[in-house]
Every structure is written in structure tokens, then in C-alpha cells.
Amino acid sequence: MRRRNQNSDDIMKSFKIRTFVIFGLMMLLGAACLIMILKLGISEGAMANGTGSKVLDTTDSSYVPSPGDSVFNCFVLNNDLSPIRGEIYDDHGRLLVGNFSVFEVAFDGRRFATEYKDTLAHNPKAFDELFQQLSKALHTQFKDRYPQNTEQYYFDFFTKAVQNRKYKTLFAVKEWDEKSWVSGRDTSYIKNLKCWRQDKGDGTTRKIHAHLSYVPTSVRINPYGDIARRTLGMNVEGKHYGMEFFMDKLLAGQQGSKKFLRLNKTVVPLKDRVEPIDGYNLHTTIDAEIQNYVHNELALKLSELGAHWGCAIVMETKTGEIKAISNLKRDANGHYDESMEYAFNAKVEPGSTFKLASLLSFLEKRSDDTTCTYPMFVHTFQFPLKSGSYRNYYKQDSKVHGETLGTVSEIIQRSSNIGVASMIFDAYGMKNFADYRKQLIKLGIMDTIHTQLGDILPATIRNDGRFDNYYGVCFGAGFDIPILHTLVYYNAIANNGKMVAPLFVKYVTNNYDTIQRFEAEVLNEQLVSPANVAKAKKYLEGVVWGKYGTGRRYKDSTCRFAGKTGTRDIWDPVRKGYDYDHNAVSFCGYFPMEDPQYTMIIYIYYVPQHSEVAVDAFARIARAMMNRSNYSAMRNTLELPFNPSLENYPVNRKYYNALFSTLGFDTTALSPTANFYIPLRDTIPTLQSKEWTLKKEGGMPDVRRMIASDAVVELNRAGYKVRLTGRGVVREQTLDPATKTVTLTLAP
């Protein structure tokens, strides 16, 4: 019994000793942890926060790389956080420029060779079949974007990358070359190619790891294609112009950053993070619909004439807002694209459109303009010399022989160079070019105009004392003026004398609010006296509506406009003389004539024709815009005569009754058997009509002259797909037999 108690005491004593030992060890471990925590918190805490003597902060603004950096193994580095670039919209909120993700495609030949080194060691050509199939698939997918890349090119690319164990870029991202972009659809196509699955020979397949990488990059995309491309602009390497460049600070936003600590190969994020601020969105003055009219009509006219280039600009008269601006240049293939900024930068002589400036200068000096007459076709000017004698300058505008006098109105209508020069010489004196030039300065023609997209330079009119220089300036020869500058002072006349600078961007927004608004700068509250503005308008109206007007061929009671034509010989710097076989033609004016809403200029370079072709383009665009705004519908319908039956279009019977009944005509006499009717010319309340039968050519309905909706219904009914281009009625139809798709070309 005593022995048993002694054993129990020994066990308890041993247990206590062990407990004290364990407790002591735990205390020592706790003390060690506490010491280590204190050490980390005090001596190593600075390093953990990216500070301290053992850390090299490369993000510090004062940091300069030096050989001494090699002693550090702990660095603070910066990872830039890019903001989202702002987007550009038209004046109705339609996207003109947005962000789009494209991909750089590369092949890692080193990793491929490492993964399949055993296979390649036994058979270096083991993957030739894979690369051949891949090359064929890539050539098929990208032959339109990379026509220079043959199947052999792709095959050599992959085989050499594997042989040389290199990482090689297959498709690089060129931000300025939209045609070369690789989209998400393309990468999906590549990833799902059947060639990545290889038959193992036992009824199963294995997936080959391609080691193709797809690096995303954000680029700018224009949903409307080439339309207004030059004005919207670019701001990438080697290409800096337009809104993207001039308003980059607003669009770009502010870059953010995220610091991290790199200790040997370990990366530890730090708390210092600056969030990026996304760029602002630009809401422009451009109207996408008007821009579409202008672009298409200008391209059509340039192509028809074979011109070198052309420019068209539409300005809202009262606000100065640019609603459309198109700069088209012919490329080597005969296509026209937006590759130059002619509106601002073209160095061209204005020609007879400048006669408005001379007319205004004349009116500011002479109030008896309605009674004045001047020579128009042939005249000998006598220039006084210091000796008291005269030097004769014989000038001839046309083949008319003998001097003929004309009124100021007739001179402007006929666009007589001799007549306008005679007016200026009478008002200012033949040796007083300086006073005439001072008056042009008052008109703002010699001023630089500052805009959101850069400066509009002044006219390069110099006073060299020569008669021919003075004479030429009177009708727009011998000097340059930007096309946009001409539009600005024409717009001032349309705006009752108030001259405003062009406006391209109306306001700026972020995701939540409007940040900034813009209004056009008023350059001159009253360019010339109100009386002379009214007179100038009458003279410009005569150019289109007068008996001798150079634009009278295109007058249209449903689209009333006024303006001035211009035709100028082309200066050849090589020959140092004028090319009299080709012209620069233009027309600048405003519409509707009685209450101008828009001012527009058309400028076409290097054509054998005269200014009538520019008036034609102007009239087509103006008519399309007025129809869009229902200007013509506001006129009394009964005042407008019906066109001859050959000029009318077939209308579906279902809509025919409702349409003409609304206009007040009796349509009860229509036959119920026909599907289409054509209205005939008449003046009585009962509408005369004739039946119209839809013809077929080779099984396809001939829908020419039909309205678009009826044409689409009939073609769909016959089993064809339809694609529409333009606006108006069907003028042409083209069948693609491969897809059974009919392209309908519409025009007014």
C-alpha cells in the first residue's frame, strides 16, 4: 500500500516537472515571437510599407537609375492603370467614335518546342500537317486583311518559330489601320479550328496546345466608317489630327497607378493606389444623317467627274454649328476617302465665290448700286502712271467682241471678272488697292479664326503695287484662302450680318453629368450695314433665280437657295503657269432662301467642267436636307403641279387611297383589280390614275422606280434577300447570284 502511494507521488512530481518545462518552453517561444513581431513592426515595418533604407523606391520623382541600384534586392515599382478613353457622339447622341477591343496574335515557338521536344526529337516534321492545316485556315480567314500573307508564309512562320525556339508576333495591332485588326470573332475562329485535335490512331484524339497568345488592346472604331473620319481624327503614332488630337486632354482622362513591392521574385501589393479617371465624352455638332447625305453626294459627284478631290461643309446659320464636313481625295484605285483635311489646309484660289467680298466692299462705298453700269465682257483698263500718261491693260472675259455695259445685278449673275473689277476700281480708285484691302480686313477675311480643331488661316492677299495683282484679287485670283474661311463670311450674310466662328463640339460629359458647354464665338456683330446685307442677299438670289444667273439651271421651287458660283483655273507650280484645261469649281450659298437655316460650300478640284457641277451637288444635298426637315411639305401642296406620269412612281393600292385622300383628292374611281397605281397629272379634285403591273426579268421582279418598302416586300415574296443603299426610290437593282441578294440603290 505504501509502495503504491510512493509511485503515485513520483508520477505527480514527474508530471509537474514536465508541465513546468512545457510552460517554460511556451513562454520562451512566446517571448521569441513577441521579439520577432516587435522587430518586424519596428525595424522591418518600413520595408513592408515600401520605405526604409533597404528599399529602393523607383516611383519617386527624384529617382535616377544608377549602377548602385544593384545592392538593393527590394524595390517599389509602379503599375500604371489606364483610364477608358472618352467617346464621341453626334448631336443626336449617335456614336461616332467608340472603343473596341482587338488582339495582337503571337506564337510561342519556344514553349511549343519544349512541350513536344520528345516528338520533335524523333520526327522534326511531326507537326508539318498541323501547320499546313493551320496555314490554310489562317489564309482563308485573313486574306482580305493580309493579302500579302500566303499559305506558305504562315507555314514558314510556325516552322521557323519552333526551329529557332522564338516568340514571334503573327498579327500586330496597328491602331491606325482598321483593316488589319483581329477581333474577338477571329480569335474564337482560331481557337476552335479542328486541326488542334489530332487523331492518336486508336479511335481517340488528343488536343494539341497551340501556345498562341491573344493580347487585347483597346482601339478606336468609327461605326459610320469613313464618314467624317478626317474631322473626328486620330491620335496615334504618326497620325495626329481632328478632334481626337485637338481635344485629347478631355478624351484621354487621367492615368491611375498601383504600387507594388518586389522582393527578389516575390511581388507584394502596397496600399498606395490611385484610381484612373476615365476620359470625358464629346458631343459634337455633327448630324450623322446630314453627314451621310453630304459624304455620299460629294463622293458620287467626284466619281462622276473624275476629280482629284473635293470638300463640302454644312454650317447651321444662326449657331455656327458644323453639321457636316467631308474631305474626299481620290486614291490610286480611283476610290475617294477621307485622307486629307482640305477644309482647313487646302491652298487654293477661291475664284468667283470671292466676288461676294468684292460686292460687299463696293456696297460699303456706293449706295447708288442700282443705277451704276460697268463693262462686262471686254474692256481696256487705263492704269495711270507717275508721268501722267497711261498704260493700257486689255481684258476679255468671253468671245463677245465690243464693250457691253451691265448693271451690278447682271454682273453678279453673269459672274463677270471685268465687271467686278470695274466696280472696285470705280469705288476705290485704280491706284488705291490699299483702301480696298483695308475693307477686306474689316470683313474678317485677313483674320485668323480660332476653332476647337485648330486655326483657320487668313487669306494671303498682298499689295505688290502691280495692276494684275489688284485686278485678280477682285475676282478671287492670285491668292489663297481656306475653304472654311469663305463659308464663315457667307454665313454672316445669311445670318443678317452676324459673323460667328465654326463650332464643332457642343458639350462635354462624363458618366453622370455635363462637364462643360461651348458656344460659337461671335467674330463680328454686324459685318456690314443691315441695308447692304439685304442688298447682298438680293444679288446672291439672282445667281440662281435671275435671268442670267450662272446657277439658274438648278433652281427649284421646292428647294429655294441662293449663293455664288466659282470657277478658277488651276495653278501648275511645275510649269509656273495656269492649266486652262482644268478648273477648281465651287458654290457657296444658303437655304431656305427666305429664312436661311444652313449655309453650305461645295469645292471640287481639277475638273474640265465649270461651276454648274458644284451647284448640282449643292442642290442635291440641300433638297435631301429640306425633305428630311419637311421644309418642302410646309409649302401648299396644291400650289405644286403634278409631274408628268413618266416622272411619278407606282404606289401600292393599299396605301394609295389613304395617301391621296388625305391630300383632298377623290380616289373612288380606282379599279379594285390592280395592285399598283401611278398618279397622272391633273388639276381637278378627281385624281386621274393608271394601273401599273410589276414586271419580272429572269424570275426576279423589276422593282425600279418603286418606293423602297414596296420593293423590299416584292423581292422578299419572290425569295430574295435585300440590301438598301441611299435614300429615295429605287434607281438600280443588282443581283448577287451566289447569295441571292439584291442590292437596291435609292436616290431622290
Is 633's pLDDT higher than 50? no
Residue 198 and residue 183 in one domain: yes
Query: How confident is the model over 203-242, as pLDDT tens digits?
Result: 566 677 778 899 998 889 888 888 899 999 988 888 899 9
- The 8-class DSSP code of residue 204 comes to -
Mean pLDDT of all residues in 457-475? 92
Q: Check which CATH number belongs to the domain holding 721 and give it.
A: 3.30.10
Average pLDDT, the chain: 85
Q: Is the pLDDT of residue 519 over 80?
A: yes
Residue 228 lies in a domain: no
Domain match, 200 and 328 both:
no
Residue 637: strand, helix, or coil: helix
DSSP state of 656: H
pLDDT for the residue 675? 73
Beta-strand (E) ranges in 592-624? 598-607
Percent of the chain with pLDDT over 70: 84
Higher confidence at residue 644 or residue 355? 355
What single-letter DSSP state applies at residue 377?
S
Residue 630 in any domain: the answer is no
Q: Is the pLDDT of residue 322 over 60?
A: yes
Q: Are residues 668 and 730 in the same domain?
A: no
Closest Cα to residue 354, out of 456, 445, 455, 470? 445
Beta-carbon count within 10 A of 489 CB: 23
Q: What are phi and psi of 523, to 5 degrees?
A: -85, -30
For residue 638, give every residue at least 6 positions away whose Cβ sits within 8 Å of its Cβ, in sequence order, or none: 664
Q: Is 623 contained in some domain?
A: no
Per-residue pLDDT at 683? 46
Confidence tier at 641 by pLDDT (50, 70, 90): very low
pLDDT number for residue 657? 65
491-512 tens-digit pLDDT: 999 999 999 999 999 999 988 8
Residue 464 shares a structural domain with residue 583: yes
Q: What percent of the chain has pLDDT over 90?
A: 50
At 349, list the grid cell: 484660289
With CA atoms as reference, report the closest residue to 398 among 548, 541, 547, 545. Answer: 548
Q: Residue 218 domain-assigned? A: yes
Ramachandran assignment for 566, one of left (phi > 0), alpha (psi -120 to 50 degrees), beta (any other): beta
Please give the grid coordinates belonging to residue 482.
Answer: 481656306
In 3D, which of 681, 622, 385, 309 has the Cα closest to residue 494? 622
Phi/psi of residue 378, each to 5°?
-140, 135
Residue 311 pLDDT greater than 50, yes or no: yes
pLDDT band at 645 (very low <50, low <70, confident <90, very high): very low
> 308 phi and psi, to 5 degrees?
-70, -45
Query: Which grid cell sits at 441?
Result: 480686313
Q: Is residue 684 situated within a structural domain?
A: yes
**CA–centroid distance for 718 within its chain:** 38
Asked if 710 and 650 touch (Cβ cutoff 8 Å), the reply is yes
Residue bearing the bigger pLDDT, 695 or 618: 618
pLDDT at residue 459 above 90? yes
DSSP 398: S
Omega before 592 within 30 of 0, i.e. cis: yes
Mean pLDDT calculated for residue range 51-75: 67
Average pLDDT over residues 734-746: 81
Residue 280 CA to residue 301 CA, distance in Å, equals 37
**Domain limit, last residue, from 26, 42, 72:** 72
Residues 48, 189 share a domain:
no
Task: Say whether both 645 and 562 belong to one domain.
Answer: no
Judged by phi (left if over 0) then psi (alpha if -120 to 50, else beta), residue 17 lies in alpha
Residue 151 in grid coordinates:
499559305
**pLDDT beyond 60 at 253:** yes
pLDDT in tens, 3-30: 556 667 777 777 778 888 888 888 888 8
In a domain, 366, yes or no: yes
pLDDT confidence of residue 266: 67
Residue 707 per-residue DSSP state: B
Predicted confidence band of residue 634 (pLDDT cuts 50, 70, 90): very low
Q: What is the pLDDT of residues 399-456, one digit of tens each?
A: 666 678 999 999 999 999 999 999 999 999 998 999 999 999 999 999 999 999 999 9
pLDDT tens column, 27-46: 888 888 877 766 655 555 55
Q: Pick 619 or 259 by higher pLDDT.
A: 619
pLDDT of residue 265: 64
Quick one: pLDDT at residue 386?
Answer: 81
| The domain boundary residue, chosen from 72, 106, 129 | 72
| Residue 29 confidence (pLDDT) | 85
Residues 675 and 570 in one domain: no
* Whether 426 and 506 share a structural domain: yes
How far apart CA 351 and CA 562 sit, in angstroms, is 17
DSSP 150-191: -HHHHHHHHHHHHHTT-EEEEE---TT-GGG---HHHHHHHH
* 596, pLDDT greater than 80: yes
Q: What is the pLDDT of residue 636?
A: 38
By CB neighbour count within 10 A (0-12 exposed, 13-18 middle, 19+ buried), where does 12 fall? exposed
Do 171 and 206 lie in one domain? The reply is yes
- Asked if 328 and 437 sit in the same domain, the reply is yes
Q: Going along 322-417, which residue ranges are E strands?
A: 322-330, 336-337, 373-375, 378-384, 390-396, 405-407
- Domain end point (choices 178, 198, 223): 223
**CB-based burial label for 598 (10 Å; 0-12, 13-18, 19+):** buried
* pLDDT classification of 69: cutoffs 50, 70, 90: low
Q: How far apart are CA 85 and CA 233, in angstroms?
A: 14
Angle, alpha carbons 138-141-147 (nearest 5°): 85
What are 198's three cell numbers?
489530332
586: domain CATH number is 3.40.710.10
575 and 472 share a domain?
yes
Task: Read off the C-alpha cell for 22.
Answer: 512545457
Q: Domain for residue 669, yes or no? A: yes
Q: How many domains does the chain have?
A: 5
- Please tell me what DSSP assigns to residue 503: B
Is residue 626 classed as helix, strand or coil in its secondary structure? helix
Cα–chain-centroid distance for residue 567?
A: 28
Average pLDDT over residues 599-610: 96
552 — phi, psi (to 5°)?
A: -65, -25
Phi-psi bin for 614: left (phi > 0), alpha (psi -120 to 50), beta?
A: alpha
398, 311: one domain = yes
User: By three-state DSSP, how is residue 635 classified?
Assistant: coil
267 beta partners: 262
Count the neighbouring beta carbons within 10 Å of the beta carbon of residue 623.
21
- H-assigned helices in 212-354: 229-232, 242-246, 248-252, 288-305, 342-345
Range of the domain at 19: 2-54+65-72
The answer to whether position 268 is within a domain reads no
